[in-house]
Amino acid sequence: MLTELRIRNFAVIEEAELSLAAGLNVLSGETGAGKTIVMTALGLLLGGRASPELVRMGAREAVVEGLFEIEGETSIAGASEWIDPDNPHQMIIRRVIAEGGRSRVSINGNTATVQALVQLGDALIQIYGQHEQQSLLQRENHLLILDRHAGLEAEVAAYRELYQHSRESRVRLSELERHEQERGDLLELARFRVSELENAHLAAGEDVALTAERSVLTNATRLAEAANAAEHALYGAESAAVDLVSSARSRLADRAPQPGLTPAGCGPACPCWPRIPGMPGSWGAARHVRPLPWWGRRHPSAR
């Protein structure tokens, strides 16, 4: 049963405290006295919907706190994890609503969820009214009421404990089976990799050769591009280098030798005379020209 209810900064209530004694307690008053506000605050402790409009104007948060006495040995569904072993017959539920609408729930000082309040609230308080739900009309409570009437609460508690243990065992078994499957997959992968290594017939020092080959292959594209560019510059361009050199040598051949431009006795046999591969001692066009032009050489007689 509810023994104390504290309300602070809730709706129009700045602060109020309500103490309830054993037996019948009547909350009365004229219209607008605040009875509905008190019941709304109590509904929040049972998992009711929170709204930022419930925070008193000018306040940062609203707080509703209730102290409940748990009578006898009656078990409350979902309450075992919240019961304080040092004080098993008391439960303090606190709900805080921030001005943004977010709420915090604590049960006996431990953080909880609104769903936990819904589960506990139906067992802690019964609200009867024209439009309020009653526990007798909730199908999930029918078995609980029947078991309580038959005096089977202890047996039901033992069954729940065994069932929970069974669920945990099944979950553990499922994890072990999954780990075994993963282990088998890893072993199969390891065998495949070992087989691949054996079939590769690797040799000592092969990694050095592979590294060198990889370096060559990495630069192969750039080397090919450079070679193509050089070949194009030499032979493929409109003004190819070889063609220009051949044209220049042809023009010089038309005018050489001339008196006064070459030393006396200079001719095809002279070391300074230009040489064309495949055409010794003569001037002519060539696709591959390596020697310097005759005017770029120093005549032996000038040494």
159 and 95 share one domain: no
Residues contacting residue 40 through CB under 8 Å, at least 6 positions apart: 11, 48, 54
Into how many domains does the chain fold?
A: 3
What residues of the chain score a pLDDT lower than 70? 72-80, 128-136, 237, 254-303
pLDDT at 241 (0 to 100): 78
Domain end, chosen from 137, 160, 192, is at 137
- CB neighbours of residue 59 within 10 Å: 14
- Cβ proximity of 234 and 241 under 8 Å: yes
Q: What is the CA radius of gyration of the chain?
A: 51
Domain end, chosen from 120, 137, 154, is at 137
Residue at 249 is within a domain: yes
Per DSSP, helices labelled H in 102-152 are 114-124, 142-150
Phi, psi of 212 (to 5 degrees): -65, -45
pLDDT at 268 (0 to 100): 55
pLDDT at 250 (0 to 100): 81
Residues contacting residue 136 through CB under 8 Å, at least 6 positions apart: 145
Query: Which class for 37: exposed (0-12), middle (13-18), buried (19 or more C-beta within 10 A)?
Result: middle
Residue at 11 is within a domain: yes
Residue at 43 is within a domain: yes
**CA distances (Å), 228 to each of 32, 129, 237, 246, 290, in order?**
97, 95, 11, 21, 20
pLDDT at 281 (0 to 100): 46
Q: Which domain holds residue 155?
A: 141-169
Strand order from edge to edge, sheet including 13-19: 13-19, 2-10, 61-69, 90-98, 103-107, 110-112
Which residue in the block uniquely carries the two structure tokens 């304080």? 84
pLDDT at 61 (0 to 100): 92
271 and 164 share one domain: no
Residue at 96 is within a domain: yes
C-alpha span between 276 and 256 (Å, rounded): 15
Residues contacting residue 290 through CB under 8 Å, at least 6 positions apart: 277
Domain end, chosen from 137, 157, 185, is at 137
Residue at 188 is within a domain: no
pLDDT at 227 (0 to 100): 87
Residue at 109 is within a domain: yes
pLDDT at 298 (0 to 100): 43
6 and 132 share one domain: yes
User: Could you report the per-residue pLDDT of 26-75, keeping only the tens digit for each?
Assistant: 888 888 778 888 888 988 888 888 888 889 888 889 999 999 887 755 55
pLDDT at 171 (0 to 100): 94
Residue at 157 is within a domain: yes
